[in-house]
Amino acid sequence: MKHIENKENFTNEIILSIPERFITDNTFSNYSLAVYCVLRTLSQPTQLPILCITQSQIEFYLTGKLSKRRLISDYIKCGINELVDNHIIGKVDEQQKHYILDCSNLCISNSKEFFTVITFGEVQKIFNVENVNNFLLLRYFVSLISTISSKITVYLDNGEYKNRVVGNFTIDYLSELSGITDRTIIEYNKILEEIGLIYIYRQEDFVIDKENNIKRLNNIYGRASDIEYITTFAKNQQKHYESYRYLENNNKKANNKRRLAQMYQQLLRGGGKDYTEKTIADIYNYVIEENQKYERMYEKNKCEDYLDKIRNTDIFDKYDFIKENKYL
């Protein structure tokens, strides 16, 4: 099996490790988190501990433009001061709107501290959303990504696998974690999906427990780049819990297979004169899939009983549309 490293998602991106305290500690506002992201981004490539920067430069790095809005400048100033007051950075000097900042403590020094990995590209996408509180949206995004589990490994059918790709917490929990209302979380989830940062598999499914109580399955979420893993995990959850829709779909598939098997027998007996091309193609596809399944089982177990289950496909040779792959 091939393990896919998550760092491949961050090609040509500056990776930011956000300490847990920026999410859980009310000492840090949304503004200090945004400023922290910029300063980490600037200090990483240069490895220089001292930076000279202005509030306008920080705004430009976040948004890609200068708005000349006093309010944003005030927010950034507030963020800088919070980082200084909490000894995350040091203010060496301040002259004519220029800050000389000691950023030597920005790297994570406490190996026991949990952190969340995002990229500065993700930060910039968030700050390019219009008509929204971008600072709060960033904090929520970091909170959401922090709930992606490191203990869950998702395997694809092709053998590739990853961990740190799915989360399955409820909106109530995310609200408690982030301090944001349920209604705002629903709105922010929609925005983050629209700008391509996250994908949410909405289960819209339920299970019935032993006491006949109905329990709704949690939605599964993660980064949009991991959509295949998210979808796979969500469907595995349905199978594991034998959800209503899973059982319903299984019954439909089983009934359809029985129907196609009966129609195949009709063809062998010379019947099926009124079958459409599409129906015959469906029968053919069913037979081929079943044959391939039994071939794989024989290869694995070397039991010749499986070979006896392989159906003859000569009956389909007379249909030109099968040879042309018209319905495949």
Q: What is the pLDDT of residues 229-241, one digit of tens each?
A: 999 998 888 776 6
**Are residues 268 and 250 both part of a single domain?**
yes
**Are residues 222 and 254 both part of a single domain?**
no
Q: What is the pTM of this model?
A: 0.72
Residue 5 belongs to some domain of the structure: no
Q: How confident is the model at residue 328 (pLDDT cuts 50, 70, 90)?
A: low
Return the closest-CA partner of residue 80 out of 31, 13, 117: 31
Residue of higher predicted confidence among 244 and 94: 94
Residue 184 belongs to a domain with what CATH number? 1.10.10
Residue 245 has what pLDDT? 63
Residue 8 has what pLDDT? 38
Report DSSP letters for 262-278, one per residue.
Answer: HHHHHHHTT--TT--HH
Mean pLDDT of the chain: 85
Question: What's the CA gap between 207 and 213, in Å, rounded?
Answer: 8
Residue of higher predicted confidence among 24 and 112: 24
Residue 298 sits in which domain range?
245-323
| CB-CB neighbours of 129 under 10 Å | 16
Residue 290 has what pLDDT? 87
- How many CA atoms lie within 13 Å of 136's alpha carbon, on the beta-carbon side? 14
Which tokens sit at 286?
């069913």
Would the pLDDT of 40 be above 70?
yes
Domain final residue, candidates 181, 207, 242 = 242
220 contacts 203 by C-beta, under 8 angstroms: yes
Residue 181 has what pLDDT? 95
**Are residues 121 and 193 both part of a single domain?**
no
Which tokens sit at 186?
């629903």
Would the pLDDT of 319 be above 70?
yes
Residue of higher predicted confidence among 38 and 237: 38
Residue 10 belongs to some domain of the structure: no
**Are residues 169 and 109 both part of a single domain?**
no
Residue 248 has what pLDDT? 63
Would the pLDDT of 100 be above 90?
yes
272 contacts 263 by C-beta, under 8 angstroms: yes
- Is beta strand 2-3 parallel, antiparallel or unpaired with respect to 160-163? parallel
| CB-CB neighbours of 270 under 10 Å | 8
CB-based contacts of 107, cutoff 8 Å, min separation 6: none
| CB-CB neighbours of 285 under 10 Å | 14
Average pLDDT, integer, range 151-165: 89
Q: Mean pLDDT check: name the lowest of 164-173, 213-222, 257-266.
A: 213-222
Q: Taken in order 139, 145, 147, 150, is the CA torsion positive or negative?
A: negative
Residue 85 belongs to some domain of the structure: yes
**Are residues 73 and 174 both part of a single domain?**
no
Cα 182 to chain centroid distance, Å, stands at 20
Average pLDDT, integer, range 79-97: 92
Residue 104 belongs to some domain of the structure: yes
What are the backbone dihedrals phi and psi of residue 15, each rounded to the nearest 5 degrees, phi first? -85, 135
Which tokens sit at 242?
């034998």
The residues with which 221 forms a beta bridge, in sequence order, are 167, 200
Q: Which strand (E) or helix (H) includes residue 283?
A: helix 277-301
Residue 10 has what pLDDT? 37
**Are residues 26 and 119 both part of a single domain?**
yes
Would the pLDDT of 129 be above 90?
yes
Could you give the number of structural domains in the chain? Answer: 3
